[in-house]
Amino acid sequence: MPKWIEKVFGIGTVTILLLGATGYWYVFIAGAPQLDPPKVVTDANLNFELKTYKSVAMNSERTYGLILPPGYAKNSQQRYPVIFLLHGGHGDARAYQDKAAVTSVLHDLYQSKRLPPSIIITPDGNDQRGTSPLWDPQYFDGPNGLVGSAIGSELVSEIKSR
């Protein structure tokens, strides 16, 4: 085989390996960080707060994000719809605010009357392994934690009690 073909083949192989390693690092190590973070409306009159609750199912303190609708403090006895937004892989309780500026989106939805005032909950849906981009068939209630029970029963009860 001519030298120039070997050289091109070698450069191509190195390039493919380098791109593969970079992609692996970006997704599995860095957690696919947001390259173009959304603009957060600061005067949206909505606050994102992190809260905790004791989970018997997960045998630990768990976090969740809470966004109360405008005017909630004045009408705390009013009943509001509750919306749970569960993150995807590499996410946590802050993912919707950090990666999607959920308070800005809610502000726009409330202004356009496309969403009634609602309580928004963003639970941490990770099991005991932490964040994972991989599909896990035993994720919901499996050997690494009872995430389904923690969110579907315990967190729902916690929200109702508050």
Q: What predicted TM-score, i.e. pTM, was given to this entire model?
A: 0.74
Burial of 24 (0-12, 13-18, 19+ CB in 10 A): exposed
* pLDDT one-digit tens code per residue, 10-27: 888 889 989 988 887 777
Cβ distance 91 to 132 under 8 Å? no
Residue 3 binned pLDDT confidence (cut-offs 50, 70, 90): confident
* pLDDT one-digit tens code per residue, 80-134: 999 999 987 778 899 999 888 899 999 999 999 999 999 999 999 888 776 655 6
pLDDT of residue 34: 64
Other CB atoms within 10 Å distance of the CB of residue 147: 24
Sheet arrangement for strand 48-55: 48-55, 60-67, 119-123, 82-84
